[in-house]
Every structure is written in structure tokens, then in C-alpha cells.
Amino acid sequence: GSVIDQLRFTGGRIHRRKTVVKAVNSVSLDVQAGETLSVVGESGCGKSTLARTVMGLYRPNKGEIHYRGARIDNLSSHRMLPYRTKMQMVFQDPYASLNPRMTVRQILEEPVRFHNPNMNRDEVSDRVAEVMRQVGVDPVWATNFPHEFSGGQRQRISIARALVLDPEFIAADEPIAALDVSIQAQILNLLMDAQEQRGLTYLFISHDLSVVEHISNRVLVMYLGCVCELASAKELFSNPKHPYTRALLSAIPKLGGKAGGHVKLSGDVPTPINLPTGCVFHGRCQYADERCSREIPKQHTLANGTVVACHGVEEGRI
């Protein structure tokens, strides 16, 4: 099928309660229909904020979000309704994201009834049973409550809730991070199968680079709310350009090989409220020079399509 320019987000400051937190800064990206675009970075880099902003849970005070060509960040909640069915989110903690006082049936039927007021009882319950089967939870458990399920089953139920409205786009924020390692692969496979069957587009937030390498078409690397690098998964993992990307990758132990490179990643991540001047990474970057502490690097597109924001790469000294 044709590749559709699906989302564009050029974020600025994000209002969160009354404080203004500069959490995501000039991130501009198109998510293409049918792809998995992963966002990686250490905690506090703004990856969750980016996903929630795309979903309309946070409002950017600068920048725009477009969905299939239509601007959606400034819509009233009523006009946002059609997008609420097309765009869904899966959260890290399935226990916190499922209402403990509702049965699985109630959890799954509620959005279907709300968005399809003309559906009759049987149609609604057929839809719910079908999606439960798809995620591997037997519909006989529909009258049970979330706490009666294991963590993996609960995440299956929250994936069912995301799928039940037949969405096009899912933002998944660390969807396997809270689960036992033994069931992470099952949930990942479930997400991948659902993508294949339904042609879903994923914005996948993760700190787990081996998972990201396995599932992604493209990867966005963020640090302190800024884009470091945006590349195809293949290029990013075989030919990382940005010093921060290299540092992240060198921390992954490679099977049957040495833990690649000797890129140092030291020091704490500064707070996003008091961003450093110049390149946000300069305090931890072994390649930093005087220009880096004073001038914000621009995003350059290299010949292989990789986008990288780094003076050193631009100057050809890295």
C-alpha cells in the first residue's frame, strides 16, 4: 500500500498541571502507515511525553499534530471523537490502566457502546468475544475482574481494549517493561501479530534496545526532550552516528562478541527544567568542544537518510 504521512509533531513546551516543563523540544517526525517507529532514550528523555502528546493527553503549547493530513492538536473533544477510535494507547502498567471495579466485559464493552451507539447487544458482545480470542484470553473469563488475572493476562486485556475499536494507530509506552521476562516475548508477539493482521501503525516507546532492534522499522533516539538521531533500525544498529546513540548501543552486551566500542556515558541526566545551553548532551559527551556548549546542533539528513543532530557529525570529526 501507499505510505501515508500520518503524524507530524513539532513540539515545544508542554503544560503539565501549572508548571511548564520543557519536556519535548522541536521533535518533528512523520509516522508512516503500517510501520513501527520506536522511541528510545533513558528515563526522563521525553519519550512518554512525546507519546502522550501525540495521543492528545498533553497539549503542546507550540507545534502541531497532524493525523492523515488533518490537524488534531487543537480540536474540541467532540471533534476529536473520531480520532479517539483510530488512535489508541497501551500503557506500561496494565493494573493501573484497568479499572479495578469493572469486569473485563465492562472494560471492553464500554468504549464499543460509547463509539457505536447503534450497535445492538449481540453485536457488542460478539465484538468483545472476538477481540478477547484474538489476544488469547478465553471469553469465559469476561465476568472476572482485572485483579483475578496475572500481569501478562492483564496486559492482554489492555491490548484488547486498545484493539476493540479497530484502531489504525497504537502508541505503546513500555508495554512489556512491567512484565516477567518469561512472558515479555508472548506479549511482544501478540502485538506483532495484531499489527500484521490489522495493518496497524505503532509508536513504540521502550528503553530495551534489543527489543527495539527486533521489532522496529525506524528508531528515534531522544535525550532530554531533543532528537539525537532518527534512522532505519538497520542503519541505527549497524552504523550509529550520534555520540549518544553510540553510548546507548555500547552498553548492550552483544551475544558472542565484545560489548562494542568504548564510548563513555557518565554523569547524571540534567533535569529537563534547566536544560544545558548548546547541545543538551554536551556535559556527557566525550566529543564535546566549545561550540557544543554554546550552539544547539541542527538536524542534518545524511546520504543514507539518517537524521542526526550533532556538530561533530556535521563537521566530519566524528
Residue ranges in contact with ligand SF4 by CB under 6 A: 243, 279, 281-282, 285, 287-288, 292, 297, 310-312
Instruction: From 42-50, 188-196, 222-230, 238-246, give the range in contact with Mg ion by CB under 5 A.
Output: 42-50
Of 48 and 97, CB closest to Mg ion = 48
Out of ligand SF4, Mg ion, none, which partner does residue 202 contact, by CB within 5 to 8 A per kind? none
The distance of closest approach from Cβ of residue 262 to ligand SF4 in the complex, given in angstroms and rounded to an integer, is 16
CA 107 vs CA 15, 87, 103: distances in Å:
30, 17, 6
Q: Please, what is the minimum distance in Å from the beta carbon of residue 271 to ligand SF4?
A: 18
Contact by Cβ (8 Å): 115, 147: no
Query: Should residue 48 be labelled a site residue for Mg ion when binding is judged by CB under 5 A?
Result: yes
Residue 297: name its binding partner from ligand SF4, Mg ion, none (Cβ under 5 to 8 Å by kind).
ligand SF4
Residue nearest to Mg ion (CB): 48
Q: How far is the CB of 235 from ligand SF4 (least distance, A)?
A: 18
Select 7 or 292, whichever has its Cβ closest to ligand SF4: 292
Binding of residue 97 to Mg ion (CB under 5 A): no
Minimum CB distance to Mg ion smaller for 48 or for 88? 48
Q: Tell me how far apart the alpha carbons of residues 38 and 205 are, in angstroms, rounded to a whole number.
A: 6
Selection from Mg ion, ligand SF4, none that 292 binds (CB < 5 to 8 A by kind) is: ligand SF4
Q: Which does 48 bind (CB under 5 to 8 A by kind): ligand SF4, Mg ion, none?
A: Mg ion
Q: What is the DSSP letter of 60?
A: B
Q: Which stretch binds Mg ion (CB under 5 A): 45-53, 128-136, 243-251, 264-272?
A: 45-53
Which amino acid, 131? V
Question: Which is closer to ligand SF4, CB of 154 or CB of 311?
Answer: 311
The residues, ordered by sequence, that sit 6+ positions from 162 with a Cβ below 8 Å of its Cβ are 88, 89, 90, 170
Q: Which is nearer to ligand SF4, 272 or 312 (CB)?
A: 312
Left if phi > 0, otherwise alpha if psi is -120 to 50, otherwise beta: which for 224? Answer: left
Q: Which is nearer to ligand SF4, 56 or 312 (CB)?
A: 312
Q: Which cell goes with 233?
A: 533500525
Q: Where are the alpha helices (DSSP H) in the chain?
A: 47-54, 77-86, 94-97, 104-115, 121-134, 151-163, 181-198, 209-215, 233-238, 243-250, 311-315
Determine contact, residues 54/40, Cβ cutoff 8 Å: no
Residues within window 54-73 making contact with Mg ion, judged by CB under 5 A = none
What does the CA dihedral 184, 92, 235, 310 come to, rounded to 10 degrees? -150
Q: How far from chain centre, in Å, is Cα 154?
A: 20
The cell numbers describing 73, all together, are: 492538536
Selection from Mg ion, ligand SF4, none that 279 binds (CB < 5 to 8 A by kind) is: ligand SF4
Residue 306 contacts Mg ion per CB under 5 A: no
Which grid cell is 137?
Answer: 484470553
Q: How far is the CB of 266 from ligand SF4 (least distance, A)?
A: 13
Which residues of the shown chain bind Mg ion in the complex (CB under 5 A)?
48
